[in-house]
Amino acid sequence: MDKPFAITLDPGSSLANRTGSWRTLRPAYSDHLPPCNNACPTGENIQAWLYHAESGRYEDAWRALVRDNPMPAVTGRVCYHPCENACNRGRLDESVSIHAVERFLGDEAIAKGWTFEPPPQRSGKRVLVVGAGPSGLAAAYHLARFGHEVEIREAGPMAGGMMRFGIPKYRLPREVLDAEVRRIEALGVTIRLNAKVDSLLKARDEGGFDAAFVAVGAHLSKRAWVPAGEAARIMDALSVLRGVEMGEKPLLGRRVLVYGGGNTAIDVARTARRLGAEEAVIIYRRTRDRMPAHDSEVQEALDEGVMFRWLSTIKMGTDSAAGETFTIEKMALDDTGFPQPTGEFETIEADSLVLALGQEVDLSLLDDVKGLTLHNGVVKVDAHMMTDCPGIFAGGDMVPSERTVTVALGHGKKAARYIDAWLRGTRVEDTPKHSLASFERLNPWYYTDAPRTVQAELERARRESSFDEVVSGLNADNALFEARRCLSCGNCFECDNCYGVCPDNAVIKLGPGKRFSINLDYCKGCGLCAEECPCGAIDMVPESI
């Protein structure tokens, strides 16, 4: 300054002061992993597709969704939605009804005829997939998207696996399943029906396949030894369900006992009611809270008049003039929660008994594959879904894991990634997972109260007399509402709060969809932006001095 003494100085702007030098912490925008995404067995980026759905861009939402899961109309109906158990909104009021929005998008895609984008280019490699259940279908879908030629061989007359021959229509209408299977076929996947594979190696070599993915599911019903008279009508749940699907009308009679405590038992009992049984009684050794069946299904069954006998086991069935009778023994739970016999018996009459005691895997097609490790009747796979035999991958119910449609879909996706790498001789680049967007990161004050959208259910009379779908979906309006209940955990949703609350105007708004950056010349590191970010998308990180 070369002004003489006591002369008015030129006014200047404070912009010359780089007050950012006061800072010891700096804000950093970062995406964190929402708990819903983390919990989804197919690794769906739920928060990301809900983000599109929030603005009514349903096709974008669907496209983001099917990057991971090709069958949202199915999973939106039958998945047990572990995402919702993890959803942070559950800590505020009720979790976002993710499955309902997923189902809406899936149905919308079917109604609008949205199709998958064709693969960019062909790899020239051929992959054999055995089994057209969810796992095989998902693997085929992802492999086709990678550009490989895929052929599915399916033993049954129709594709879908347990989605068709297990899960009843009233939970999964067949038009929905068919539409999602057809869309995978339209991608170029060949499905050969009635084409049971007896020897995997033979099928692979004869077909000139470069790799194989086996997902034959678990179809052998476990039997329990129930001594019974000649006429006692004892069936297994899978045959009953399969029969219904094939258009048969299994003769179950007026009073049906179902033995077992899983979802299959529930489905069979509900099916029996629809087939005209006046009474369907589920006999289970433990109590309701220890039942493996999901609570919502137990509740729906109760609503339909299915009865339960807890702490009971079937002893034997005898033939009597009056009809069939079955002896039931009362059980008591010991300290470990294991049911123990009490010696108290009771006879009940019933026309039939359906066993729903779980399923085992028929592994005969792998008999000539050398060096496989089996464990409790299922095939061991490594972290890449590969069996001990190089180039043979497996997934779904036939490998050790939880047996659900979505887990099977997830296995298919994961296997496809590793099969692709295996075929190309590359390695899958595992991107490090973002750290979890826990509830504690959120500033929930900013979210308005909004009750979860309830899906309507069919009235009881029609549920007892038809296989019509029980639970209805959302419409475009309430799907929007439900999507907007999402808190966008850990991922900026452009609420402008950070831009607004910075006392130093140090947040720069980059425009719609481009989010924000920080002007470090002026950011003093107060942390207000991070503290007031509703969804916890900003971290305060120490400055390196």
Ligand X SMILES: Cc1cc2nc3c(=O)[nH]c(=O)nc-3n(C[C@H](O)[C@H](O)[C@H](O)COP(=O)(O)OP(=O)(O)OC[C@H]3O[C@@H](n4cnc5c(N)ncnc54)[C@H](O)[C@@H]3O)c2cc1C
Contacting positions for ligand SF4 (CB under 6 A): 27, 29, 34-36, 46-47, 50, 87-89, 96, 98, 486-489, 492-498, 502, 504, 506-507, 516, 518, 523-529, 533-535, 537-538
Position 135 contacts ligand X (CB under 6 A): yes
Minimum separation from the CB atom of position 447 to ligand SF4 (A)? 9
Q: Judged by CB under 6 A, which of 263, 387, 453, 488 binds ligand X? A: 263
H or E element at residue 349 = strand 339-349
Name which of residues 368 to 387 contact ligand X (CB under 6 A).
none
Minimum separation from the CB atom of position 514 to ligand SF4 (A)? 11
**161 touches which of ligand X, another protein, ligand SF4, none (CB within 5 to 8 A by kind)?**
ligand X
Minimum separation from the CB atom of position 451 to another protein (A)? 10
What is the x/- site pattern for another protein, positions 42-61, by CB under 8 A?
A: ------------xx------
Distance CA 331, CA 142 (A): 48
Position 265 contacts ligand X (CB under 6 A): no
**217 touches which of another protein, ligand X, ligand SF4, none (CB within 5 to 8 A by kind)?**
ligand X
Radius of gyration of the chain (CA): 29
Position 405 contacts ligand X (CB under 6 A): yes
Any idea of the CA torsion for 226, 228, 231, 234, to the nearest 10 degrees? -10
Contacting range for another protein; rule: CB under 8 A; set: 28-36, 174-182, 206-214, 529-537 = 529-537
Beta carbons of 36 and 84 less than 8 angstroms apart: yes
Position 403 contacts ligand X (CB under 6 A): yes
**Strands lying side by side in the sheet with 312-320:** 312-320, 323-333, 339-349
Question: Which own/partner pairs from 120-123 qualify as long-range (CB within 8 Å, at least 24 positions apart)?
Answer: 120/147, 121/147, 122/147, 122/148, 122/149, 123/147, 123/148, 123/149, 123/423, 123/424
Terminal Cα-to-Cα distance of the chain (whole angstroms): 31
Position 521 contacts another protein (CB under 8 A): yes
**396 touches which of ligand SF4, another protein, ligand X, none (CB within 5 to 8 A by kind)?**
ligand X
Contacting range for ligand X; rule: CB under 6 A; set: 56-64, 158-166, 343-351, 384-392 = 158-166
Q: C-alpha 101: how far from its chain's center?
A: 13
Q: Which two tokens stand for residue 168?
A: 């009843």
Total binding residues toward another protein, as defined by CB under 8 A: 54
Q: Which two tokens stand for residue 519?
A: 């002007």
Beta carbons of 469 and 170 less than 8 angstroms apart: yes
Q: Judged by CB under 6 A, which of 46, 61, 365, 394 binds ligand X? A: 365
What is the x/- site pattern for another protein, positions 450-469, by CB under 8 A?
A: x-------------------
Q: Exposure string (b/e) for 291-320, b if CB count within 10 Å is 16 or more? A: bebeeebbebbeebbbebbbbbbbbbbeee
Position 78 contacts ligand X (CB under 6 A): yes
Q: Which two tokens stand for residue 501?
A: 């609350």
Beta carbons of 282 and 261 less than 8 angstroms apart: yes
Contacting range for another protein; rule: CB under 8 A; set: 112-120, 217-225, 266-274, 481-489 = 481-489
Contacting range for ligand X; rule: CB under 6 A; set: 124-132, 183-191, 455-463, 480-488 = 124-132
131: left (phi over 0), alpha (psi -120 to 50) or beta: left
Minimum separation from the CB atom of position 215 to ligand X (A)? 4
Residue 256: phi and psi, rounded to 5, are: -120, 130
Beta carbons of 339 and 331 less than 8 angstroms apart: yes
What is the x/- site pattern for another protein, positions 22-41, by CB under 8 A?
A: x-------------------
Position 12 contacts another protein (CB under 8 A): yes
Distance CA 93, CA 84 (A): 12
Position 480 contacts another protein (CB under 8 A): yes
DSSP letters of 372-419?
A: --EETTEE---TTSB-SSTTEEE-GGGSSS---HHHHHHHHHHHHHHH
Position 216 contacts ligand X (CB under 6 A): yes
Position 4 contacts another protein (CB under 8 A): no
The residues of the shown chain that bind another protein, judged by CB under 8 A, are 8-19, 22, 54-55, 445-448, 450, 480-481, 484-488, 493-497, 499-501, 503-506, 509, 512, 519, 521-522, 524-528, 530-532, 534, 540
Task: Name the residues that contact ligand X, by CB under 6 A.
Answer: 78-80, 130-136, 153-156, 161-163, 166-167, 196-197, 215-217, 241, 263-264, 267, 365, 396-397, 403-406, 408
